[in-house]
Structure formats: C-alpha cells, structure tokens
Amino acid sequence: LQKVKSDLELVLLTVRSKNKKLEEDLIREQQWSEEQEQMLDILNNTEEETKAQVEPPSTKREFDELKNKIMKLKTYKKELLSALGGFLDEHFPLPEKGENTKNKNSSTEPVVELITMQEVLEILINKIMTTPHEPYVTIDESFWPPYMELLLRCGMVLRHPEDPKRLRLEAFHK
C-alpha cells in the first residue's frame, strides 16, 4: 500500500507539473493571439486610411457635379455673349461709309475699316485678362471716336495717365 501511495504521489506530481506547463503554454498562446489580433486591427486601420487618402468615395460624384456646373456655366456664357452681341449690333451699328471721312471730296484716300462696338469690347476684355500688368490698348483710326467717347463717359474705360491714345477696360472683375 505504501508503494502504491508513493507511486500515486509521483503520478500526482507529474500531472501537476504537466498541468502547470500546459497553463503556461495556454497563457503564452493567449498572449500571442492577442498580439496577432492587435496587428490585424492596425493593418485594417492602415488599409482604410490609405483607401481614404487615395480616393474618397464621393470624389467621383463631386467631380461629375463640377463637370455639370462647368457645362452649365459655359452654356450660360454663350447665351450671354450672344445676347450682348445682338444688343450691340442693334443699338451700336457701324456708321455709314460716308460718315467717317471729313472731306467728302477726298475719296481717293483709302477708308479705314471701322471695328464694331462688340469687337472693341472683345479687344479690351482680352487685353485685361491676358496681360493684367499692361492692360492698355492703343486706339487708332479703326476705333470709331463716338464709341470711345461713349465708353469713356460711361466709365467703362479709362485713359492712360500719360498717353491719351491708350485706353484700358475698367477692372470690374476685381
């Protein structure tokens, strides 16, 4: 009986040591599992952040909306320019051929081709938009003086401080 008791105590000690080793292994495996889960969470978060940085999900929709707005603005601009052209053609026609010569007997000199009010405004607008640092246009005989006087009196154009032959469009867009 003593021998069986001592054998059983040895078995008990062996089982306890195995249990202790298994508990340590279990704790180690749980720690490893927690570390792996944390790594997975970090990788998922990093993936989501990079996807958000590359292209937000609403970028395509916003881009399409912007394209639509630009198209509408271009159409509106064309309509406005067409309406302005019609207004200018109706209310500011070019003078008759005989009006711009001072002496009707001197018809041997070539008559300068006058430009329309619409062309004058286009020249002035293009000049101020393309070269804002030097927006002045030199006027010559092709600019009909009554049109220039009208634009000056309305405050749409300004003369150069030093050269009265140079005009610029008033910068209404600023």
* Domain segments of the chain as ranges: 1-54, 56-91, 113-173
**Is the pLDDT score of 130 beyond 60?**
yes
167: β partners: 137, 159
In this prediction, residues 25-36 reach a mean pLDDT of 95
Convert the pLDDT of each residue in 85-112 to its tens digit: 899 888 888 777 655 445 444 454 557 7
In this prediction, residues 148-164 reach a mean pLDDT of 92
Return the structure tokens found at 14.
Answer: 């062996």
pLDDT value at residue 10? 95
Return the structure tokens found at 109.
Answer: 């000199």
- Provide the mean pLDDT of the chain: 87
2-11, 54-63, 127-136: least confidently modelled range: 54-63
Q: Which of 83, 97, 102, 100 is nearest to 141 (CA)?
A: 100
Return the structure tokens found at 170.
Answer: 């008033």
What is the distance of C-alpha 114 from the center of its chain?
Answer: 39
Residue 46: pLDDT band (50, 70, 90) is: very high
Convert the pLDDT of each residue in 56-88 to its tens digit: 556 788 889 999 999 999 999 899 989 988 998
Return the structure tokens found at 10.
Answer: 């040895």
More confident residue, 172 or 1: 1
**Is the pLDDT score of 123 beyond 90?**
yes
Among residues of the chain, what percentage have pLDDT more than 70? Answer: 88
Listed ranges 51-60, 99-108, 154-163; the one with the highest mean pLDDT: 154-163
Residue 169 φ/ψ, nearest 5 degrees: -70, 140
Q: Which of 165, 95, 91, 168 is nearest to 125 (CA)?
A: 168
pLDDT value at residue 171? 80
pTM of the model: 0.53
Return the structure tokens found at 105.
Answer: 């007997």
